[in-house]
Amino acid sequence: MPRTLVTGGAGYVGSHMVKLLVASGAEVTILDDLSTGHADAVVGGHFVRGDIADVRATAALLESRGIEAVVHFAACSLVAESLANPLKYYARNVGGTVALLRAMRTAGVQSIVFSSTAAVYGDPQRLPIDEAHPTQPVNPYGSSKLAIERMLGECSAAYGLRAASLRYFNAAGADPEARLGERHDPETHLIPLVLQAAAGRRPGISVYGTDYPTRDGTCVRDYIHVSDLCVAHLRALEWLAGGRRYDCFNLGNGDGASVLEVIEAARRVTGRPIEVAYAARRAGDPPALVADAAKARRVLGWQPAHADIDSIVRDAWGFEQRRAR
């Protein structure tokens, strides 16, 4: 494995990635400003608290640690916040990645795996969504990620940068050992919110809209286990090590679960009642978002190991219970 820098390695997906890389025998350095991450989520490697926007410091870190590849998670990622404060998202996401790429060029680092998002597609024109689907983001978060993807492709053409953009659908679940999991503030993701209700940390869960054109009238999303996401990043690093230049890949299970199905899975896993309050639709929620991830399977040799919603919820519940102790 290459000596790897993980930006945002104290965050949700980043911390799981660090754990996998360390277990794979990689020499790992973590760069995180802890604005949303947690120092106690770094379970190995060499941690440095810092900002990717500091080109000089990042270049010096890359050189001193002999970094050969970067896995880039550091970003702002709340859709609602991006609508209220788009400049923050362009400055932190796009501007921060510009600074990171400048530091990489200074240090001679030529490989990067980028944490992108299905939000680059916007409202789906067809399902499942493959990589040829039009990219028409409907919020600044998705727009900032798409701008970075385009920048990586252009830097690949101009400088020979080797880069892979991985477009997540709905990251979910937790480390099966319950050491790591979701700790967002505020929490906006359905599965941890439902499990907080099961644990008694919130009175119940709101379901926004029951009249969508789906099998039970509630929104359908493609949930992908965080451990499977990290394996895909590992496969992308291996793919880049073979001299590949630039491409993008969807990451999803290819089969969605509705809001009500997630709630029922949580009831099965926890054995606890979960109160539901029904509310009107929220603006901007598409009925269904489901990935076609055949390209990642074919090109990267990636195969998700946690395809059913119960296994994803079960691992997330283990982390929720650990937090309660």
| Residues annotated as part of the active site | 141
3-state secondary structure of 82: helix
Euclidean distance between CA atoms 25 and 41, whole angstroms? 19
Which DSSP helix (H) or strand (E) runs through 61? helix 55-64
Q: Are 171 and 226 in contact (CB under 8 A)?
A: yes
Q: Are 167 and 118 in contact (CB under 8 A)?
A: yes
Q: Where are the beta strands (DSSP E) in 170-267?
A: 170-172, 205-208, 220-221, 223-225, 246-251, 257-258
Euclidean distance between CA atoms 142 and 130, whole angstroms? 16
Which one, of 255, 268, 1, lies nearest residue 129 by Cα? 255
- Please enumerate in sequence order all residues whose Cβ is within 8 A of that of 84, keeping only pairs 6 or more positions apart, or say none: none
> What one-character DSSP code corresponds to residue 281?
P
Q: Are 34 and 98 in contact (CB under 8 A)?
A: no
- Please enumerate in sequence order all residues whose Cβ is within 8 A of that of 85, keeping only pairs 6 or more positions apart, or say none: none
How many CB atoms lie under 10 A from the CB of residue 126? 10
Which one, of 88, 31, 41, lies nearest residue 64 by Cα? 31
Widest Cα–Cα separation across the chain: 57
Pairing of strands 69-72, 170-172: unpaired
